Structure 1
Amino acid sequence: MARPDHTVFLKRSFTKMDQLATPFLTGRRLCRQLAQVVPQGTNGVVVELGAGPGVLAEPIRDRLGPDARYLAIEIDEELVAHLRRHKPWLEAVQGDVADLEQILDDAGIGRVDAFVSTLPWAVFPQALRTKVMDVIARRLAPDGAMSMIITWMALPNRVRDLRALLDEHFDEVVETATEWRNPPPARTFLCRRPLPRFRPLDGEGTRSTG
């Protein structure tokens, strides 16, 4: 029997393919890999971009301390309703990643300790990718990190452009080996240390946990 997360995502992927980009959910092995960007036992702020039906929620939750804040952003209203119904402990927010700055402001979040993303970055227009990456780099704590997934369905030139964008924003970008058992095969990018030009001035972007 299909699990609720898979059922609702499959249904929404065929009606909102322009938003969700794929009918496949990230596999458990890759979910654990993406979640490792969250320090074990952290009491900081974690923001997930493109939460979908919540396949990353439990792997991330397993790494959180008792005072951590975990905000999950999802554009699709039915998937947000699913998250709130099946994972009531999760702080699920409906919103477009294009409005990330405003979403974080509305949530009272300045600094973020970890971003985790399963968004279809390779299909985003370059202007949108740059806009969102600027916000991520500005909001990320100096010792914070971001992880994202890239599938082998992505066009090579789009992946090259994305990698160049990451190198423009972060001091370290690590690409993992391909997880061939994931449907479709995919790898992750792990980004650390936003470059100095993106760091907020002293007194700006202080971390909020609610």
Structure 2
Amino acid sequence: MSFFAEFVRAPMTVGAVAPSGPALAMAATAVVPRTGSPVVVELGPGTGAFTGAIQRRLAGRGRHIAVEINPRFAWRLAELHPAVDVVTADAAGLVTVLTQRGLNEADVVVSGLPWAAFTENRQRDVLASVSAALPPHGVFTTFAYVHARWAPPARALLRSLRSRFDEVVVSRTVWANLPPALVYYCRRPNTR
């Protein structure tokens, strides 16, 4: 199973022709604490571009839950990363996923979701779930491709992020990714 084959099969849920690169993974996961026992949720892990980076930052601590809608990706990810709790589910059901595991919230949510492929309603539903799952100190990260940043779905995403979080910091361009991308670091959810 290749990433490209899954893109061809379901472009609206995969959203890209190739997985994110290591430089983007490092930037997107920089908020995962290197101390303590955090609950980290990864949305749309796909083939695991961010998964390994999260696992390295956790170094055996905390809890890592990966929510993947594509069952083929989920199965492969579980095989490659047995320490990760891989769940085949929709990201909009994040609160339910946490509740089923006896958790009330996540400290960090890292997203690899294809926001540009989502309708505005779909973006809203997923972001509502993310903000409901985060405590006041929680952090959410996601990314956008630089070339598509000014397209209507990307602009809608940024508006939605700014309406749901007190702080949205945009990273420098990650030129080492193909295509180049930037990361949104979102803190203090304001929809509780």
Q: Same fold (TM over 0.5)?
A: yes
**How far does residue 134 in structure 1 lie from its aligned partner after superposition?**
1.5
For residue 107 of structure 2, give the secondary structure of its aligned residue in structure 1.
Answer: strand
CA distance in 2, matches of 1:81, 1:153: 32
CA distance in 2, matches of 1:66, 1:172: 30
Which residue type is aligned with residue 100 of structure 1?
A: L
CA distance in 2, matches of 1:117, 1:164: 17
Is 1:42–1:65's contact at 8 Å kept on the other side of the alignment?
A: no
Q: Report the more deviating stretch, 9-18 or 77-86.
A: 9-18
Matches within 5 A, 1:121-140: 121-140=115-134
Counterpart of 2:19 in structure 1 is 25
CA distance in 1, matches of 2:10, 2:47: 14
Bigger radius of gyration among the two? 1
Decide whether aligned partners of structure 1 residues 18 and 109 sit closer, same or farther in structure 2, where only a CA change above 3 A counts: same
Counterpart of 1:179 in structure 2 is 174
Unmatched runs of 5 consecutive residues or more in structure 2: none
**How far does residue 19 in structure 1 lie from its aligned partner after superposition?**
1.3
Is 2:91–2:129's contact at 8 Å kept on the other side of the alignment?
A: no
Counterpart of 1:44 in structure 2 is 38
CA distance in 2, matches of 1:185, 1:147: 16
**How far does residue 87 in structure 1 lie from its aligned partner after superposition?**
1.3
Q: Report the more deviating stretch, 115-124 or 151-160.
A: 151-160
**How far does residue 158 in structure 1 lie from its aligned partner after superposition?**
2.0
Out of 99, 107, 110, the residue aligned to residue 101 of structure 2 is 107
For residue 4 of structure 2, give the secondary structure of its aligned residue in structure 1.
Answer: helix
Out of 159, 162, 173, the residue aligned to residue 167 of structure 1 is 162
For residue 148 of structure 1, give the secondary structure of its aligned residue in structure 2.
Answer: strand
For residue 57 of structure 2, give the secondary structure of its aligned residue in structure 1.
Answer: coil
Is 2:29–2:53's contact at 8 Å kept on the other side of the alignment?
A: yes
Identity over aligned pairs, percent = 32
Measured against aligned partners, the alpha-carbon deviations of 1:159-188 in whole angstroms (never above 9, x if no partner) come to 221111111111100011222221111111
**How far does residue 65 in structure 1 lie from its aligned partner after superposition?**
5.5
**How far does residue 144 in structure 1 lie from its aligned partner after superposition?**
1.4
Q: Is structure 2 residue 152 aligned with structure 1 residue 157? A: yes
Measured against aligned partners, the alpha-carbon deviations of 1:85-142 in whole angstroms (never above 9, x if no partner) come to 1211111110112322322222322111000001011221111211221221122121
For residue 20 of structure 2, give the secondary structure of its aligned residue in structure 1.
Answer: coil
Is 1:149–1:187's contact at 8 Å kept on the other side of the alignment?
A: yes
Which residue type is aligned with residue 173 of structure 2?
A: T
Q: Report the more deviating stretch, 148-157 or 113-122.
A: 148-157
Q: Is structure 2 residue 3 aligned with structure 1 residue 9? A: yes
CA distance in 2, matches of 1:70, 1:181: 26
Is 2:15–2:116's contact at 8 Å kept on the other side of the alignment?
A: no
**How far does residue 153 in structure 1 lie from its aligned partner after superposition?**
4.7
Is 2:32–2:108's contact at 8 Å kept on the other side of the alignment?
A: yes
